[in-house]
Chain A
């Protein structure tokens, strides 16, 4: 499906979302999440689509996209990993686990594996410090990371 077709298919949902808010512009973040989830990253088409629904000038939709770390301006892997680099994770050995993960994937922060499978982002505290070191794989939190656990998690990825 073309991006335009994907977005027009989302129109009914967008209409419902916009209706939940007291002002249209408040739907900006939600619509960006919705469209990014479908397309993978925020394209100019998505920005225009969000601008249309929210009546927020497209330049400001773009500044929102660039402000928040969860919006991707370029394609990411099929699975996006956020590795927590908060202080508690640091205390519990995040640096070594992060190095280990990078080695296994062969990529650095902000990169995607050549096969497009996994992308890696060093994230700020994901607030699961009781299970430090930890990372978020797709939507899910994985706590108490060890090298073995990282292997298992990566092994299950498509």
Chain B
């Protein structure tokens, strides 16, 4: 350990870390463009200048290691002058087209100009012209060469993280320009990250471009439901104008740093997978397919459901639980269907739905909570839906409670039709439209993951929290709330008003979740205690 002082604050830090790492640990602000903790040190932007006592000149914090007794200043006149002149150089050839730049509001040139710049601009000469202004470089990203400050974060991302070697800096001197190889395109499974790490408006995300100025965005921490990795994310939603049947509330997803899960990154599949939050949502409660006229209330729908469940012969129902549900919701599935109603035909795993997997973030299991489902439901045979669906097809079940699964997608339309024909009552609970929902007798529209609190357990047993970013759409309700009410109607001894309460009970009853609570799970998650 090394004892150092930064801006008068005494700190004890690990030997050999860089000054910028120490500064970040102490949460002292310092401008940076090329430095990114997830990439190699480039040291080219030169803005993270600090004054170190006994050194003749200011040094860059990203490539200077701490040493015992080092006294560092980030805000002395000498340090600030260095930061300021570097900024002035960076802006010399920058087009300053902020009014038409989509990065405005989250641009580090703007931010640092306000924090460290505020100089009187002296550049009176003709700026270097570069060819590519708002040019598509691939399915997800637009490039503006004139705005680029050549920090090479995106180059290093392609070389070091994805190893797809997309970007390069061509030419030299002030004619240096960022580009992809002529004729190629930026098209890898993690391409969106380059827009995140670009500190200026050089690389922008096509999906988000000009959709909304960033100062109208609210942000909520969550977890990507796109696969069993559970990348930590932020949900960026429109906050200025509350949603009233407008087309979109969630504007984009951004990765949130979690060293144990996704570092700083997320895949494109997850990043652009937020559309179902606002699209193709189930908007109405339905009790019977033949019902026309006014929409039923939740109480009516749940009472109807409770009535048929109560009236059923023991073991005559099947439940297709979902690995898209939270741990809390799956716990209630277990409590209601397995424990209370003694239903044995419970499954959750849809076969043949595996997707792409790599050795980085993407997992082939495209569900966020398969591990939680397996642990909580403890069903035989890996929880495969097929035996339950086969039983339904064979007319052995009088009712089927389906969470989220679309049988048409998994088994084909004929299977759905056969099930529909053989089973008297089908209850469907889920957030989005699909043929199975369409075919159900009772339809319970549930909230998307962005509209509720809860936890997912990722592939390695890490329990992570999702949080409500936007209100449940229309009449939809979080699954845990639907089940809590249904359970109460069926006589369960609970009165849950928050998902957290369900979780606390889960932690008491399931050893894997022992001693966990929301506070302890926090923003970076907790691993199951292994038996």
Contact = CB atoms under 8 A, between A and B. Distances in A.
Direct touching of A and B (C-beta under 8 Å): yes
Interface of A: 44, 57-60, 62-63, 66-67
B168 A62 contact: yes
A85 B169 CA distance: 27
Given A57-B165, A59-B181, 18 more contacts: A44-B182, A44-B183, A59-B165, A59-B166, A59-B167, A59-B168, A59-B184, A60-B165, A60-B168, A62-B170, A62-B181, A63-B168, A63-B170, A66-B170, A66-B171, A66-B172, A67-B170, A67-B171
Interface residues of B, number: 14
B410 interface: no
A59 B171 contact: no
B180 interface: yes
Contacts of B168: 59-60, 62-63
A93 to B, nearest CB: 27
A32 B181 CA distance: 17
23 contacts: A44-B182, A44-B183, A57-B159, A57-B165, A58-B165, A59-B165, A59-B166, A59-B167, A59-B168, A59-B180, A59-B181, A59-B184, A60-B165, A62-B168, A62-B170, A62-B182, A63-B168, A63-B170, A66-B170, A66-B172, A67-B170, A67-B171, A67-B172
B40 to A, nearest CB: 15
Contacts of B170: 62-63, 66-67
Contacts of A59: 165-168, 180-181, 184
Interface string B161-203: 0000111111110000000111110000000000000000000
A60 B158 CA distance: 11
Contacts of A67: 170-172
A139 to B, nearest CB: 24
Q: Which 7 A-B pairs have the closest CB atoms?
A: A57-B165, A63-B168, A66-B170, A59-B168, A59-B181, A66-B171, A67-B172
B372 to A, nearest CB: 41
Nearest to B173: A67
A3 to B, nearest CB: 16
A63 B169 CA distance: 6
Interface string B123-162: 0000000000000000000000000000000000001000
Contacts of A58: 165, 181
Contacts of B165: 57-60
A44 B172 CA distance: 20
A80 B509 CA distance: 82
A59 B170 CA distance: 9
B98 to A, nearest CB: 29
A72 to B, nearest CB: 14
Nearest to B175: A66
B152 to A, nearest CB: 11
A44 B183 CA distance: 10
A94 B172 CA distance: 25
Contacts of B172: 66-67
A97 to B, nearest CB: 26
B428 to A, nearest CB: 50
A44 B184 CA distance: 12
Nearest to B181: A59
A80 B352 CA distance: 63
A63 B155 CA distance: 11
A59 B181 CA distance: 5
Contacts of B159: 57
Contacts of B171: 66-67
